[in-house]
Amino acid sequence: MDLQLNDKTALVTGASRGIGLAVVEQLVEEGVRVVAAARTSTAELRETGAFAVQVDLSDPAGPQRLVEAALAEVGEIDLLVNNVGGGEGDATAGFLDFADDAWRQIFDLNFFAAVKVTREALPSLIRQSGAIVNISSNGARVPSSGPVAYTTAKASLTALGKALAEEFGPKGVRVNTVSPGPVRTALWESEAGYGGQLARQLGIPLEHLLAGLPQQVGMLTGRLIEPEEVAALVVQLCSPRAASIVGADYLIDGGAIKTA
């Protein structure tokens, strides 16, 4: 199917690996001119042919600098994918263990980065009748399923998508959200990531945690989600063929969330 994206322009954040990298790759395959934002430029990202911008979006000046660089490179922005997220520190900490600085760091990366990049890019997106896709998490619907600061920030991001769709949908900008479950990325597979920290807390090898995780969280597919699967959904939502999909929040979690 022709997704009618050839010669469109896109800005993708958190683009150096995982879901973000997969989104960049698939958009480029569709003929999109992509500006890819990441704190560090990787060989995999450079190989996509996207225009890479090294930027820390938790830096107050980062979002404005990024969008200015994107506009200078591609002229106008048709598509924005707010994918940057994650966090540092002890991801297994409980509510009483999250200090103010940790809350700020998590919200800066998982919520305010999207707020600021979107604010900077919206004038161009309005001119282009563009589309925004925010990458949230199924943890936004079940906040107790993960670190409280992270799932709360993602819940805020999901709510932001609904509010933006309501305000800017009449101006021609479609805003939607994609909420993945456990994806095969460094967040889960790295010893330094959430998966590694959780495995150490439980006293089991990381590979055992990952092997049992799908059943433990109720994923009907019996496996982790591949980044390419999430990217395929994101790219479809970017397409003009999805012109009537506005303000939606799509779960892609292998059936882990059972409620409607």
* Per-residue pLDDT at 89: 65
Instruction: Spell out the domain ranges in the chain.
Output: 9-181+226-252, 184-224
Query: If DSSP codes are grouped into helix, strand and coil, which group holds residue 247?
Result: coil
* Per-residue pLDDT at 56: 94
Instruction: Name, in order, each residue with C-beta under 8 angstroms of 82's C-beta and a sequence gap of 6 or more.
Output: 13, 113, 114, 117, 118, 132, 133, 134, 135, 157
**Among residues 98, 107, 150, 188, which one is catalytic?**
150
Confidence of residue 88 (pLDDT cuts 50, 70, 90): low
Residues 141, 22, 221, CA angle at the centre, nearest 5°?
A: 50
* Per-residue pLDDT at 155: 97
In whole numbers, what is the pLDDT of the chain averaged over residues?
95
> How far apart are the C-alpha atoms of 198 and 217, rounded to whole Å?
14
Q: Is 194 a catalytic residue?
A: no
Dihedral sign of CA atoms 167, 64, 53, 126 in order: positive
In 72-212, which ranges are E strands?
A: 79-82, 131-135, 174-180
Tokens of 188: 């889960």
Residue at 89: amino acid letter: G
Long-range pairs for 52-55 at CB < 8 Å and ≥24 separation? 52/15
Whether 87 shows a pLDDT value over 90: the answer reads no
Q: What is the CATH number of domain 9-181+226-252?
A: 3.40.50.720
Tokens of 231: 């990217």
pTM: 0.95
Whether 107 shows a pLDDT value over 70: the answer reads yes
> How far apart are the C-alpha atoms of 203 and 108, rounded to whole Å?
31
With a pLDDT cut of 70, the percent of the chain lying above it is 98
State the average pLDDT over residues 133-140.
97
